[in-house]
């Protein structure tokens, strides 16, 4: 969602301006990321994730263009691994997929629509096709655009689970949204036995969604969000440890490949208290950003409505088919069903969602250390967490580099308007620069 992305990108600047500078803790000094030494020249859409391979080659998941590309260390195109065109033998699929580092130097490409995983060799050739472990988790395995989708580790796929939710349709024909928990499980699936176990739970952003239906059958949606939630994040490190980064007090809970658990001490952070006045100013600033973004892209609301319609099974999905969702839709007692009004003219019209925000009193008293989906694992056993700035500063985002002991050993600032989308061997960092509707990738050094 364009206006949502713009709002989130601007939040760090707002928070840094609002935050007090009192009570700073000792933390490593900020250093700059190493120089950029290569950049893409081809036009890319929305890059969900990348997979760095030996020799500097790179698999790029261009979800907006629905294609997977293999490029060399200078970003010169080697081959198109998967594409959406009919002339390509290996089709990308109708919806976004995700890349997962698999055994050795092979890679899994998850196609949620077909409930399958393509096994790609280092040369970009598809060797075989596997089914996803559980059909209800296909979309989460393919959720690279939401940050961490999934990892392969020691014979397991590790990913964020999702409980099955059942949406009911009332007698008036108005869907009733189920209550969604503010925690989600991190699970492991054994690819041989398909046995599932839970690693732990993380706190996620919670959104309250309500629906109402007018007399003419139109469905209105109201979404209430918290622009500054206290959340957790997670990664699987190169050593195979599952790391749960806790947002409440900024420490890491670990589960080793042998199943043992441990917790590292709280990490130093420059915690900033938000006054009541600052909370009100934050909500007002976020609303202003949303309104400007919506005015610049008036069609975005209709796109959101279509997405809701597809999720509800009311049409609007690519290819005319509704996506497979973990949320099912019970039509019993609703339109066309027993006790409900008849459905006329096909599916009901869904209006553009109305975005509201929680009361300023529901914002946290202390600014969180990070937003959701801010953590990345490098190839050296470290975790990089994109932190929320606590005071105004020039330049790009600053990442805390956390070692295997749960200590912040470095703070690294990347160039402005960039995000880290992956790491490669030998201290390589892959950056994404969003330029309007296109993305440019850059290859830099850690130092």
Closest Cα to residue 138, out of 323, 308, 266?
323
- Direct distance between the N- and C-terminal alpha carbons of the chain, in angstroms, rounded to an integer: 34
* Residue 7 scores a pLDDT above 90: no
pLDDT for 392 = 76
Question: What is the CA 350 to chain-centroid distance, rounded?
Answer: 25
Q: How far apart are CA 64 and CA 45, in angstroms?
A: 5
Dihedral, 398, 403, 408, 414 alpha carbons, nearest 10: -10
Q: If you average pLDDT over each of 128-132, 147-151, 389-393, 408-412, which comes out highest?
A: 408-412
Say if residue 328's pLDDT is above 50.
no
Count CA within 13 A, CB hemisphere, residue 72.
Answer: 4
| pLDDT tens-digit readout, 62-87 | 988 899 999 999 999 999 999 887 65
> What are the tens digits of pLDDT across the range 270-284?
999 999 999 999 999
CATH number (domain holding residue 227): 2.120.10.30
Q: What does the pLDDT average to over 117-145?
A: 87
Please report the pLDDT score of residue 334 as a whole number: 42
Q: Are strands 327-330 and 165-169 parallel, antiparallel or unpaired?
A: parallel
Confidence of residue 437 (pLDDT cuts 50, 70, 90): confident
Two tokens, residue 361: 């009193």
Structure tokens at 206: 């919670």
From the list 90, 97, 191, the residue with the least C-alpha distance to 141 is: 97
The CA distance from 254 to 271, in Å, is 23
Residue that has been written with the tokens 């559980």 in this structure: 134
pLDDT of residue 426: 87
> Average pLDDT of the chain?
81
pLDDT > 50? residue 233: yes
410 within 8 A of 31, measured Cβ to Cβ: yes
Per-residue pLDDT at 272: 92
The pLDDT of residue 321: 30
**Is residue 425 a contact partner of residue 53, using CB atoms and an 8 Å limit?**
no
* Structural domain that includes position 31: 2-445
**What is d(CA 302, CA 368) in angstroms, rounded to the nearest whole number?**
32
CB 422 within 8 A of CB 49: yes
Q: Does 393 or 88 have the greater pLDDT score?
A: 393
Can you give the pLDDT at residue 396?
Answer: 94
pLDDT at 147: 54
217 has pLDDT over 80: no
Number of domains in the chain: 1
Give the pLDDT band of residue 251 (cuts 50, 70, 90): very high
Residue 424 has what pLDDT? 92
For residues 384 and 148, give the distance between their C-alpha atoms in angstroms, rounded to a whole number.
Answer: 13
CB crowding 65-82: b at 16 or more within 10 Å, else e: bbbbbbbeeebeeeeebb
241 touches 257 (CB < 8 A): yes
In terms of pLDDT, which residue wins out, 326 or 413?
413
Phi, psi (degrees; rounded to nearest 5) at 229: -80, 150
Look up residue 350 and give its two tokens.
């869904």
Q: List Cβ neighbours of 296 (8 Å cut-off, separation of 6 or more).
A: none
296: left (phi over 0), alpha (psi -120 to 50) or beta: alpha
Separation CA 70–CA 57 (nearest Å): 7
Mean pLDDT, rounded, for 33-43: 91
Calpha distance 150→71 (Å, rounded): 23
Residue 332: pLDDT band by 50, 70, 90 thresholds? very low
């Amino acid at each position: 969602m364009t206006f949502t992305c713009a709002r989130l990108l601007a939040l760090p600047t707002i928070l840094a301006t609002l935050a007090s500078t009192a009570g700073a803790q000792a933390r490593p000094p900020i250093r700059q990321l190493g120089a950029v030494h290569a950049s893409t020249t081809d036009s890319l859409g929305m890059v969900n994730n990348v997979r760095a391979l030996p020799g500097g080659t790179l698999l790029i998941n261009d979800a907006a263009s629905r294609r997977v590309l293999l490029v060399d260390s200078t970003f010169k195109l080697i081959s198109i691994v998967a594409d959406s065109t009919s002339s390509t033998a290996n089709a990308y699929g109708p919806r976004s997929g995700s890349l997962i580092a698999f055994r050795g130097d092979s890679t899994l490409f998850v196609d949620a629509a077909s409930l399958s995983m393509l096994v790609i060799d280092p040369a970009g050739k598809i060797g075989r096709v596997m089914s996803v472990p559980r059909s209800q988790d296909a979309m989460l395995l393919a959720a690279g655009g939401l940050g961490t989708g999934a990892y392969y580790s020691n014979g397991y796929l590790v990913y964020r689970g999702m409980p099955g939710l059942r949406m009911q349709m009332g007698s008036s024909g108005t869907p009733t949204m189920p209550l969604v928990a503010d925690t989600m499980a991190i699970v492991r699936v054994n690819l041989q036995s398909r046995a599932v176990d839970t690693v732990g739970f993380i706190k996620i952003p919670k959104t309250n969604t309500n629906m109402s239906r007018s007399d003419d059958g139109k469905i209105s949606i109201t979404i209430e969000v918290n622009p500054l939630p206290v959340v957790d994040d997670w990664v699987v490190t190169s050593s195979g440890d599952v790391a749960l980064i806790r947002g409440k007090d900024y420490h890491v809970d670990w589960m080793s490949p042998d199943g043992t658990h441990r917790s590292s001490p709280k990490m130093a952070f420059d915690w900033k208290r938000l006054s009541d006045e600052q909370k009100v100013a934050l909500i007002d600033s976020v609303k202003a950003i949303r309104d400007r973004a919506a005015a610049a892209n008036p069609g975005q609301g209709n796109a959101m409505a279509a997405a809701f319609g597809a999720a509800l099974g009311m049409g609007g999905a690519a290819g005319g088919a509704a996506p497979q969702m973990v949320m099912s839709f019970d039509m019993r007692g609703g339109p066309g069903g027993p006790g409900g009004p008849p459905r006329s003219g096909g599916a009901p019209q869904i209006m553009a969602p109305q975005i509201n925000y929680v009361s300023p009193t529901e914002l946290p008293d202390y600014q969180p250390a990070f937003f959701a989906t801010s953590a990345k694992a490098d190839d050296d056993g470290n975790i990089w967490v994109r932190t929320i700035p606590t005071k105004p500063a020039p330049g790009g985002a600053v990442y805390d580099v956390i070692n295997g002991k749960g200590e912040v050993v470095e703070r690294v600032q990347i160039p402005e308007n960039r995000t880290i989308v992956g790491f490669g061997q030998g201290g390589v960092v892959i950056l994404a620069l969003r330029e309007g509707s296109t993305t440019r990738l850059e290859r830099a050094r850690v130092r």
